[in-house]
Chains A and B, each alone.
Chain A
Amino acid sequence: MKIQSENFAKAAQKAIADADLQSAVSFGTNLAYTKRKSAVFVSGQDHGEQIRQQAAQIKRHALNNLPQLLEQAEQQMQKNGIKVLWAKDAAEANQKVLEIIQQKQAKKVIKSKSMVSEEIAMNDFLEKNGVQVIESDLGEYIIQISGDHPSHIVVPVVHRTKASIRDTLMQKIGMPHTDDAQTMTHFVRGHLRKEFLEADIGISGGNFIIAESGSLCLATNEGNGRMVTSLPPVHIAVVGIEKVIPTLEDYATLTQMLPRSATGQSMAVYTNIINGPRRKDEEDGPQEVYVVFLDNGRSEIYSSGYTEALACIRCGACLNACPVYRVSGGHSYGWVYPGPIGAVVTPLLVGLNKASPLPNASSLCGSCKQVCPVVIDIPRMLLDLRHDLTKQKKSSKTWKIGMYIWAKSNRSEKWYKMTGRLIKASRYLPISKLPGLLKNWTRFREMPQPAAKSFHDIWQDGLKDEDK
């Protein structure tokens, strides 16, 4: 997927002017935000906070031991009969998946929702190589037949209204007219059933990997994930290396936090722990299971100052809580991962120079950290990325000079007084439009009139000795 993050401000401006998008995103994010709150704190504020801290520690502990856990996971998986592959980047991951497909002479692949597969643009690659790829998550399916991209980590079509989805389904797969969401869902379900039965290979992502048992964990709501991983003869899972956690007990905590934070459900409808291919005494399940561990820049993040970003469990809660995401929508972020966590991981995965506006696409309000199930300090990382940005060669000279002057006038008494006098003098100017970038202030706001006397003057002229 072409990275368009440099275009954030313009894309956001367009999104803000799009009334349909605004009402859809606003509805979706508000609903998830409200439901999350009641689900996470269902047993009280303290319990909710404790389980968050527990989840946070599990992920930190897992990251601290990532290399050992990956080795353990590989060994256990192999014991379970899972074939484990490693991919250093997108190209290698796609190539390895294609090789399996070609080896099995497969024609049709059915997928369950996977952000990692978006990250490596797997669908494009497989289609270019003559493989038919069908998305089976309802949202992802709508995205696919619309030629669109997900705008949310959990709710890919959150930017679309029901009416626009209806129109797409009527146009693309001949659905009869209806305004009932359930009827639409049933229609797509019927349509997809055939695809499931015809598919040669199922491809999924993975929410967690349990190292001690070599298990692949998936949380889905529509049942498609279970069909993808059990119906076709071959199942391939592509998973980021940061998904490994030590034990089943850790999973018990995280599998509560994920759906509660994502959609406000106490459990996902389908909670799958996959331990390997069909065993001799079993009647169903795939004959072969592959797990492709993807690095794609993660080990670089791991050894940078941004390791914490890898703790993310992709629940999307920070998107729903973020006032910037709520008005900008996910596509404005210009790549795969939107919202606050996207503003952190996009520059880290694709390079700061290709996503330079993103660290600044935040008012630093802190809502993201407040809702994060693993307490990732996103505002702190955005601040660090902003600092990195100022050290880049192409960073703005204007800002650099402006900041230098600002610092100078706040460092010396003489300069501070002089600036104060300038501000004061401006109180009689009829300022309705400021010059330069500052005109952006007056586009939406009046300017306050500077005071006739600064607090320094008021104090010195008598407040100091009043009432004493």
Chain B
Amino acid sequence: MNDQKKRVNVKGKKVSLFVTCLIDSLFPEIGVATVKILRRLGIDVDFPMKQTCCGQPAYNAGYRKDALSVAERFLYTFAGSEIIVTPSGSCAAMVKHEYPVLFKNDSKNYQRALEIAEKTWELSSFIVDGLGVEKMDGKLSEPCHVAFHDSCHGLRHLKLGPQVRKLISGIQNVEISELNDSDSCCGFGGLFSVKMADVSGAMLQKKIDNIISCKADTILLGDSSCMMNIQGGLKKQGYTKKVTHFALILAEAISNENTI
């Protein structure tokens, strides 16, 4: 469905970072980590200052007109970009999979939406599938036992999962376990989490139970929305296990590596 290998060559191209609205105001350190990783790979990174959100919240809630107005802004903000990279599977899937649907009847923007969709990459996929880099030398200062949660949109729309495992397994001082039902939804689902609160809470509880019984003490994922949900749930129940974005671990590891 989404054969990354057939896509345009990304090597040597300038990358525009789409940081996402959540990371912008709540977890900017993930954006900083993304910039560090990309620069370490020798990539010229820019950040179009006019960017806001991809429009997914309104789109998923059914408010297409509102989503369209925000997505249109995205198209124009990134119109001049060679490649767009984002540390979010969900936002990348929105641009890659939903923009062509959203702009279907907008003759002015449809072609532009297809072009933007084509040049948008999720971070781990950009590194592994795009650049062909499967290992980044790096070392964590403290030993860390990690497991992965596979966020839904990245997993099912973009076939993410193997890429991040490759990247993290190349780092020294990291032990990897698998999380039981790592591919089942954490219950976030955007507005679903407040519209269907009890169902969302019960789904989150299953994720928490699996995390607690997992050998790892740090859960890595590629979406700050799921991170916010799972981390928030663990904290509410007094657990100290960490849920964090893989970019943070990767950036930390490469900053400790002086051989490059």
Residue of A nearest to B34 (CB): A455
Neighbour of A458 across the interface among B31, B64, B184, B192, CB < 8 A = B31
CA A423 – CA B53 in complex, angstroms?
15
How many residues does chain B have at the interface if contact means C-beta atoms less than 8 Å apart?
Answer: 68
A301 contacts the other chain (CB 8 A): no
Q: Determine if A323 and B187 form an interchain contact, defined as CB atoms under 8 angstroms apart.
A: yes
A84 contacts the other chain (CB 8 A): no
Q: Determine if A443 and B26 form an interchain contact, defined as CB atoms under 8 angstroms apart.
A: no
Neighbour of A420 across the interface among B24, B188, B194, B206, CB < 8 A = B24
Please give, as numbers and ranges, the residues of chain B lying within 8 Å of A270 by CB-CB distance: none
| Segment from B3-11, B121-129, B137-145, B229-237 that makes contact with A | B229-237
| Segment from B107-115, B168-176, B196-204, B245-253 that makes contact with A | B196-204
Q: Determine if B157 and A327 form an interchain contact, defined as CB atoms under 8 angstroms apart.
A: no
Query: Quick one: which of B190-215 are within 8 Å of A by CB?
Result: 190-206
Neighbour of A463 across the interface among B32, B198, B236, CB < 8 A = B32
A247 contacts the other chain (CB 8 A): no
CA A390 – CA B64 in complex, angstroms?
9
Q: Determine if A361 and B61 form an interchain contact, defined as CB atoms under 8 angstroms apart.
A: no
Residue of B nearest to A438 (CB): B194
B57 contacts the other chain (CB 8 A): yes
Determine which residue in A357, A385, A413, A446 has the highest number of CB atoms from chain B within 10 A of its CB, and name it. Answer: A446
| Segment from A9-17, A139-147, A165-173 that makes contact with B | A9-17
Q: Determine if A12 and B60 form an interchain contact, defined as CB atoms under 8 angstroms apart.
A: no
Please give, as numbers and ranges, the residues of chain A lying within 8 Å of B153 by CB-CB distance: 364, 366
Shortest distance in angstroms between A245's beta carbon and chain B's nearest beta carbon? Answer: 25
A125 contacts the other chain (CB 8 A): no
Residue of A nearest to B197 (CB): A440
CA A437 – CA B61 in complex, angstroms?
15
B interface secondary structure, majority: helix
Q: Determine if A12 and B187 form an interchain contact, defined as CB atoms under 8 angstroms apart.
A: no
Please give, as numbers and ranges, the residues of chain B lying within 8 Å of A467 by CB-CB distance: 36, 39
A41 contacts the other chain (CB 8 A): no
Q: Determine if B49 and A460 form an interchain contact, defined as CB atoms under 8 angstroms apart.
A: yes
CA A383 – CA B189 in complex, angstroms?
12
Q: Determine if B66 and A451 form an interchain contact, defined as CB atoms under 8 angstroms apart.
A: no
Please give, as numbers and ranges, the residues of chain B lying within 8 Å of A364 by CB-CB distance: 60, 152-153, 189-190, 192
Shortest distance in angstroms between A172's beta carbon and chain B's nearest beta carbon? Answer: 32
Neighbour of B199 across the interface among A327, A407, A420, CB < 8 A = A327
CA A465 – CA B204 in complex, angstroms?
40
Interface string of B86-122 (1 = CB under 8 A from A): 0000000000000001000000000000000000000
B69 contacts the other chain (CB 8 A): yes
| Segment from A193-201, A211-219, A398-406 that makes contact with B | A398-406
Interface string of B24-65 (1 = CB under 8 A from A): 111111011001100100000001011011010111111110
Neighbour of A444 across the interface among B59, B66, B231, B236, CB < 8 A = B236
Q: Determine if A390 and B50 form an interchain contact, defined as CB atoms under 8 angstroms apart.
A: no
Q: Determine if A386 and B62 form an interchain contact, defined as CB atoms under 8 angstroms apart.
A: yes
Q: Determine if A390 and B184 form an interchain contact, defined as CB atoms under 8 angstroms apart.
A: no
Determine which residue in B32, B62, B152, B202 has the highest number of CB atoms from chain A within 10 A of its CB, and name it. Answer: B62
CA A194 – CA B29 in complex, angstroms?
72
Please give, as numbers and ranges, the residues of chain B lying within 8 Å of A440 by CB-CB distance: 193-195, 197, 200
A95 contacts the other chain (CB 8 A): no
Shortest distance in angstroms between B237's beta carbon and chain A's nearest beta carbon? Answer: 9
Q: Determine if A454 and B28 form an interchain contact, defined as CB atoms under 8 angstroms apart.
A: yes
B21 contacts the other chain (CB 8 A): yes
Q: Determine if B24 and A386 form an interchain contact, defined as CB atoms under 8 angstroms apart.
A: no
Q: Determine if A360 and B200 form an interchain contact, defined as CB atoms under 8 angstroms apart.
A: no
Shortest distance in angstroms between B170's beta carbon and chain A's nearest beta carbon? Answer: 22
Q: Determine if B232 and A388 form an interchain contact, defined as CB atoms under 8 angstroms apart.
A: no
Known: A363-B152, A386-B60, A411-B52. A444 touches B70 (CB 8 A): no
Q: Determine if B25 and A450 form an interchain contact, defined as CB atoms under 8 angstroms apart.
A: yes
B133 contacts the other chain (CB 8 A): no
Shortest distance in angstroms between B107's beta carbon and chain A's nearest beta carbon? Answer: 19
Q: Determine if B156 and A365 form an interchain contact, defined as CB atoms under 8 angstroms apart.
A: yes
Residue of B nearest to A409 (CB): B52
Please give, as numbers and ranges, the residues of chain B lying within 8 Å of A370 by CB-CB distance: 156
CA A389 – CA B32 in complex, angstroms?
39
CA A383 – CA B191 in complex, angstroms?
13
CA A459 – CA B157 in complex, angstroms?
30
CA A144 – CA B136 in complex, angstroms?
62
Q: Determine if A323 and B185 form an interchain contact, defined as CB atoms under 8 angstroms apart.
A: yes
Shortest distance in angstroms between B248's beta carbon and chain A's nearest beta carbon? Answer: 14
Please give, as numbers and ranges, the residues of chain A lying within 8 Å of B197 by CB-CB distance: 9, 440-441, 443-444
Please give, as numbers and ranges, the residues of chain A lying within 8 Å of B241 by CB-CB distance: none
Please give, as numbers and ranges, the residues of chain B lying within 8 Å of A460 by CB-CB distance: 49
Please give, as numbers and ranges, the residues of chain B lying within 8 Å of A438 by CB-CB distance: 194
A447 contacts the other chain (CB 8 A): yes
Q: Determine if A441 and B193 form an interchain contact, defined as CB atoms under 8 angstroms apart.
A: yes
Neighbour of A16 across the interface among B60, B62, B202, CB < 8 A = B202
A114 contacts the other chain (CB 8 A): no
Q: Determine if B203 and A324 form an interchain contact, defined as CB atoms under 8 angstroms apart.
A: yes
Q: Determine if B199 and A16 form an interchain contact, defined as CB atoms under 8 angstroms apart.
A: yes
B135 contacts the other chain (CB 8 A): no
A68 contacts the other chain (CB 8 A): no
Please give, as numbers and ranges, the residues of chain A lying within 8 Å of B194 by CB-CB distance: 437-438, 440-441
B179 contacts the other chain (CB 8 A): no
B75 contacts the other chain (CB 8 A): no
CA A451 – CA B197 in complex, angstroms?
26
CA A380 – CA B60 in complex, angstroms?
10
Shortest distance in angstroms between A427's beta carbon and chain B's nearest beta carbon? Answer: 10
Interface of A toward B, CB cutoff 8 Å: 8-9, 12-13, 16, 323-324, 327-328, 357, 359-367, 369-370, 380, 383, 385-390, 399-400, 403-404, 406-407, 409-411, 413, 416, 420, 423-424, 437-438, 440-441, 443-448, 450-451, 453-456, 458-460, 463-464, 467
List 13 additional A-B contacts (Cβ < 8 Å) besides A323-B206, A369-B156, A448-B26. Answer: A9-B195, A360-B196, A363-B192, A364-B152, A366-B155, A403-B66, A407-B63, A420-B25, A423-B25, A440-B195, A444-B233, A446-B232, A467-B39
What are 30 A-B contacts defined by CB distance under 8 Å?
A9-B199, A12-B198, A16-B198, A16-B201, A323-B187, A324-B203, A327-B203, A360-B192, A362-B189, A365-B152, A365-B156, A366-B152, A366-B153, A366-B157, A370-B156, A383-B59, A387-B62, A390-B61, A403-B58, A407-B70, A410-B73, A444-B200, A448-B27, A448-B228, A451-B26, A455-B47, A456-B49, A458-B28, A458-B32, A467-B36
